[in-house]
Amino acid sequence: MNRELPRWADLALLPALNLLLALGVSALVVLAAGESPAAALQALAIGSFGSWDSVGYTLFYATDMAFAGLAVAIAFKCGLFNIGVEGQAAIGGLGLALVMLGLDSTLPAALVVILAVAAGALAGAAYGAIPGWLQARRGSHVVITTIMFNFIAASLLVYLLVNVLIEPGQMAPETRRFAVGLPPLSDFGFPGRSPVNLALPLALLAALAVWVLVWRTPWGYGLRVVGSNPDAAAYAGIDQGRRIIAAMAISGALAAGIAVNELLGSQDKLILNFTGGAGFTGIAVALMGRNHPVGVLLAALLFGALAQGGAELAFEMPDLPRETVMVVQGLVILFTGALGALFRAPLSRLLGA
């Protein structure tokens, strides 16, 4: 009765199988679009890893995905489905931009950047904590409230950028350029020309921090108890509500990492829709990475490559837009998340035999 997959199959074989299937179905879509799947795959591969430039871009996008995936994963670990990473990143970006706009010409560069990162994280955390509080104390389902919070954040950002923060005399809804930012990795000898920047090591640090927090502290132990068995939380004397609020706050702070990478590392200003849907891709990253930091980083690399490869693909094959990679993302979410039971049983039978 108690069929269990071996660990390696659970952690490696199953995700690989799901990815393969997602790619297979995507190949059919590429065929339907009248293109050759083999050529598309080749363009993807070359586009994402074919040169130092493209590797840099892949890593740049992977940084977004890593932050987004970690944000979704830590909420998942507490049994929460945070669909609001997009909105939390946006509000994080707002907090970060306000610090930059206010202080970038008065304080030393390093200090203002650190302050901006902190402000971004704080703003994202606050914006994540509200749905957490609503879930813990008012019973409002976090899935629905975070969806709503995404739109509220988007409206707020549009209003502020169109009416308040816009650079005077300009038409585009953007702030002025920040005087300083995060240095690109090319400053430290990374080859090629790409926007990959110090946010990448920051993402690696964040992954380590999440691992330590969730797997190596009593607090994180409680978080996992709440996530996997809320009934047992009362038995172990763990305050479920406080864990939920805190998990959502941390999730929001991690989401703000997207803003750090995009705004401080590449754009040097606050723009609309800077997340580029990374918040939603984070769901695929977390599901595929099995909500573990190592898995999330690997999945982030994969989806970073897809994002970069997709852009190159659109360039190489004019009949395929960069949204084609969204087909792969959607299918990965579907196969790993919703249709997970499809392969689990046959696979365990196969391996058990």
Partner 1 sequence: MTSAAPPAIECRGITKRFGHVLANDAVDLVVHRGSIHGVIGENGAGKSTLMAILHGFYPADSGEILVDGRKVSIDDSADAARLGIEMVHQHFMLVEPFRVVENVMLGAEGGALLKHGEAEARAALKRLAEEYGLAVDPDARVEDLPVGARQRVEILKALYRGAEVLILDEPTGVLTPQEADDLFRVLRALRDEGKAIILITHKLREVMAVTDRVSVMRGGKMVAHRETSETSAAELGELMIGRRPAAAQRPAPSAPGPEILAVEDLRVRDNAGVERVRGVSLALHAGEILGIAGVAGNGQTELLEAVSGMRAPESGTVRLRGEPITGLDAAALRRLGLAHVPEDRLRHGLIPEFEACESAILGYHGDPAWRRFLGLVSGRKVEAHAARLMRENDVRPALPRLRSSLFSGGNQQKLILAREMEREPDVLLVGQPTRGVDIGGIEAIHERLRGWRRAGKAVLLVSVELDEILALSDRILVIFDGRIVGELPGGAADERRLGLLMAGAAA
Partner 2 sequence: MEATLDLVVPILAATLRVAAPLILAALAGLFAERSGVVDVGLEGKMLFAAFAAAATAAVTGSAWAGLGAAILASSALALIHAFACVTLRGSQVVSGMAINVLAAGLSATLALAWFRQGGQTPPLTGAARFAPIPLPGAEWIAEVPLLGRLLVGVVGGHAMPVYVAFALVPLAAFVLWRTRFGLRLRACGENPGAVDAAGVSVARLRYAGVLIAGVLCGIAGAAISTAQGAQFSPEMTAGRGFIALAALIVANWKPWPVLWTCLGFGLLDAVAIRLQGVPVPGLGVPFPVQAIQALPYVLTVILLAGFVGRATAPRAAGVPYVKER
Q: Examine residue 5 and tell whether it contacts partner 2 (CB under 8 A).
A: no
Which of partner 1, partner 2, none has residue 232 at its interface (CB below 5 to 8 Å by kind)? Answer: partner 1
Which of 75, 284, 302, 305 is close enough to bind partner 2 by CB under 8 A? 284
Q: Examine residue 3 and tell whether it contacts partner 1 (CB under 8 A).
A: no
Site for partner 2 in 291-320 (CB under 8 A): 318-320
Alpha-carbon distance values, 207 to 94, 134, 243, 284 (Å)? 23, 27, 19, 17
Name residue 352's amino acid.
G
Question: Which residues, listed in sequence order, are joined to residue 184 by a DSSP beta bridge?
Answer: 197
CA separation for the pair 291, 201 (Å, rounded)? 20
| Closer of 113 and 325 to partner 2 (Cβ) | 325
Hey, what are 106's tokens?
């008065």
Which of partner 1, partner 2, none has residue 221 at its interface (CB below 5 to 8 Å by kind)? Answer: partner 1
Q: Examine residue 144 and tell whether it contacts partner 2 (CB under 8 A).
A: yes
Which of partner 1, partner 2, none has residue 70 at its interface (CB below 5 to 8 Å by kind)? Answer: none
Which of partner 2, partner 1, none has residue 272 at its interface (CB below 5 to 8 Å by kind)? Answer: none
Minimum separation from the CB atom of position 109 to partner 2 (A): 33
Which of partner 2, partner 1, none has residue 238 at its interface (CB below 5 to 8 Å by kind)? Answer: partner 1
CA separation for the pair 224, 218 (Å, rounded)? 10
Q: Examine residue 348 and tell whether it contacts partner 2 (CB under 8 A).
A: no
CA separation for the pair 295, 188 (Å, rounded)? 27
Hey, what are 265's tokens?
């590392």
| Closer of 247 and 320 to partner 2 (Cβ) | 320
Asked if 57 contacts 195 with a C-beta cutoff of 8 angstroms, the reply is: yes
Query: Which residue is it, tokens 């954040």?
Result: 153
Angle between helices 293-316 and 278-288 (to 10 degrees): 130
Among 277, 271, 262, smallest CA distance to 329 is for 277
Q: How many residues does the chain have?
A: 353
Q: List interacting residues with partner 2 (CB under 8 A).
A: 29-30, 32-35, 81, 83, 134, 138-141, 143-145, 147-149, 151-152, 155-156, 158-159, 162-163, 280-281, 283-284, 287, 318-321, 323-331, 333-334, 337-342
